[in-house]
């Protein structure tokens, strides 16, 4: 059984609410803990899957990168379409080029780039809550403090979910929507980039409106601090006011007031005038684009580094999931003794230490099994190297018969 009671506050945009509920009985706590135990078991097996498959993924990616580097064909700065390179992995460095500029007719923005992003924000009420629990008269009470601020938000905030909507209503829709426009055809040198390569061009920069000509704009639009404001008073916005910012990625075409065209380095498969994904014999897809001047060796070195970072990141994530899963699975032991304060704290600390130790050992065991499955020669070689000191030490002691 629960109840709640609002409390008034001196601030109009802040109030408190206290809810109370009866402390759960022993059987109810056991029932709640059982659900956590099932979640813990699920997380435990999920961690084993992540740790084991991660070793295979890391090896496959490494072999694919080595295979790609051994086959890549570097193209000169001044190159043409060579039919001999069809279906082969090529590397080139050149500037981006698009046939037509991107534009937004509503705000008269025109940019020669690969992508043009329109970001819309609305001035809205935002609710924040902070809770604290305490015991009183055999009940658990929760005091929640709700605070309301006005902020610029890119997502629509639904005020119907507020604890106190009166005086904090937000509009139900935005007058303008955010959108990203992408050039239909993007070239580098004589080649057309695939969609996967275009997706990697995300070096967005805010479009400066410092020298923007706002004479032909709607009279209710105001340019201020690189934003288009749908109000004549941008420094004193009201709830429902909208502002719009533009950004671009991948300058292309001729040199403009924004700067020189973007130079990119690409590794992909040549098929006619298209640059496509390349599938290695090891099973990975190679399709790289970097927004700088890099050689093929530098690109593959960076990919090896990313593979190493991802491998260690998944190892740590798998270990953390295993540790959390063991703690949740053993939480029922804590529930059985939580009525004894001293014993409860000792069990809580013991469960955490046990989960930490067991997860460390089991994680290393699963990783080692992964090595045995995916890299048996390397694993057995490491075992053999590890046994050499034991054989040397054993051979150094004379037998009793020799004595």
Coil, helix or strand at residue 312: helix
Q: Is residue 125, in this structure, part of any structural domain at all?
A: yes
**C-alpha span between 55 and 366 (Å, rounded):** 10
Yes or no: say if 236 and 255 are a contact pair by the CB < 8 Å rule.
no
Structural domain total, the chain = 2
- What integer pLDDT is reported at residue 7 of this predicted model? 39
Token pair recorded at residue 179: 């959108």
Predicted pLDDT of residue 330: 81
User: Token pair of 181, please?
Assistant: 């426009």
Q: What is the pLDDT of residues 196-243, one digit of tens each?
A: 999 999 999 999 888 776 556 677 788 889 999 998 889 999 999 999
Cα 323 to Cα 26, 40, 316, 330, 358: the distances in Å are 26, 9, 11, 11, 8
Burial of residue 144, with CB atoms counted within 10 A of its CB: 0-12 exposed, 13-18 middle, 19 or more buried: middle
Last residue of a domain, one of 272, 306, 328: 272
Q: Do 352 and 253 fall within a single domain?
A: no
54 within domain boundaries: yes
Does residue 168 lie in a domain region?
yes
Shared domain check, 235 and 127: yes
Same domain, 153 and 191: yes
Residue ranges with strand state E in 277-329? 278-279, 285-286, 288-290
- Classify 383 in phi/psi space as left (phi over 0), alpha (psi -120 to 50) or beta: alpha
113/256 same-domain check: yes
- Residue 266 has a CB neighbour count (10 Å cut-off) of 24
What is the spatial distance between Cα 60 and Cα 283, in angstroms, rounded to a whole number?
7
What is the rounded CA–CA span in Å between residue 66 and residue 64? Answer: 5
Answer yes or no: do 253 and 383 share one domain. Answer: no
Gap between the Cα atoms of 252 and 114, Å rounded = 7
Q: In this structure, is residue 278 part of a structural domain?
A: no
* Start-to-end C-alpha separation, the chain: 83
Confidence of residue 89 (pLDDT cuts 50, 70, 90): very high
Q: Give how far Cα 74 sits from Cα of 79, 91, 263, Å.
A: 10, 5, 16
| Structural domain contains residue 285 | no
Q: Tell me the average pLDDT of the chain.
A: 84
pTM equals: 0.80
> CA nearest 351: which of 99, 33, 136?
33
Closest CA to 368 of 383, 388, 386: 383
Instruction: Tell me the per-residue pLDDT of 303-358, one tens digit each, with 9 for 90 and over.
Output: 999 999 999 999 999 999 999 998 888 877 766 666 566 766 777 788 888 888 88
Residues 182 and 159 in one domain: yes
Q: Are 255 and 303 members of one domain?
A: no
pLDDT at 8: 36
42 and 97 together in one domain:
no
- Residue 284, number of CB atoms within 10 A of its CB: 21
Do 157 and 229 share a structural domain?
yes
Q: Which domain holds residue 50?
A: 30-81+295-389
């Amino acid at each position: 059984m629960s109840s709640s009671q609002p409390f008034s506050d001196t601030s109009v945009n802040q109030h408190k609410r206290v809810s109370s509920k009866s402390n759960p009985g022993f059987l109810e706590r056991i029932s709640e803990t059982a659900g956590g135990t099932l979640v813990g078991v699920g997380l435990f097996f999920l961690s084993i899957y992540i740790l084991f498959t991660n070793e295979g993924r890391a090896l496959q990616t490494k072999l694919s990168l080595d295979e790609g580097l051994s086959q890549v064909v570097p193209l000169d700065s001044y190159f043409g379409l060579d039919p001999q390179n069809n279906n082969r992995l090529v590397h080139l460095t050149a500037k981006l080029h698009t046939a037509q500029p991107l534009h937004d007719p509503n705000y008269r923005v025109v940019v020669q780039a690969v992508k043009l992003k329109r970001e819309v924000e609305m001035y809205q009420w935002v609710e924040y809550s902070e809770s604290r629990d305490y015991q009183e008269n055999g009940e658990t009470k929760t005091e929640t403090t709700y605070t309301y601020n006005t902020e610029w938000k890119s997502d629509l905030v639904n005020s119907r979910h507020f604890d106190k909507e009166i005086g904090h209503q937000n509009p139900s829709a935005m007058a303008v929507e955010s959108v990203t426009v992408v050039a239909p055809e993007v070239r580098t040198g004589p080649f057309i980039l695939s969609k996967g390569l275009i997706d990697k061009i995300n070096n967005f920069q805010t479009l400066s409106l410092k020298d923007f000509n706002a004479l032909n704009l709607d009279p209710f639009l105001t340019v201020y601090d690189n934003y288009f404001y749908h109000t004549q008073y941008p420094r004193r916005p009201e709830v429902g006011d909208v502002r719009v910012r533009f950004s671009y990625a991948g300058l292309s075409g001729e040199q403009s007031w924004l700067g020189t065209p973007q130079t990119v380095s690409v590794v992909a498969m040549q098929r006619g005038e298209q640059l496509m994904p390349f599938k290695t014999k090891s099973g990975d897809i190679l399709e790289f684009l970097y927004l700088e001047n890099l050689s093929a060796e530098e690109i593959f070195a960076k990919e090896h580094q990313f593979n190493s970072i991802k491998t260690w990141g998944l190892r740590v994530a798998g270990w953390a999931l295993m540790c959390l899963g063991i703690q949740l699975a053993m939480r029922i032991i804590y529930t059985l003794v939580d009525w004894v304060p001293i014993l409860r704290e000792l069990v809580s600390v013991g469960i955490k230490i046990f989960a930490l130790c067991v997860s460390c050992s089991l994680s290393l065991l699963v990783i080692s099994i992964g090595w045995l499955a995916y890299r048996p020669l390397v694993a057995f070689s490491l075992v053999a190297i590890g046994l050499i000191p034991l054989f040397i030490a054993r051979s150094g002691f004379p037998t009793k018969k020799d004595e």
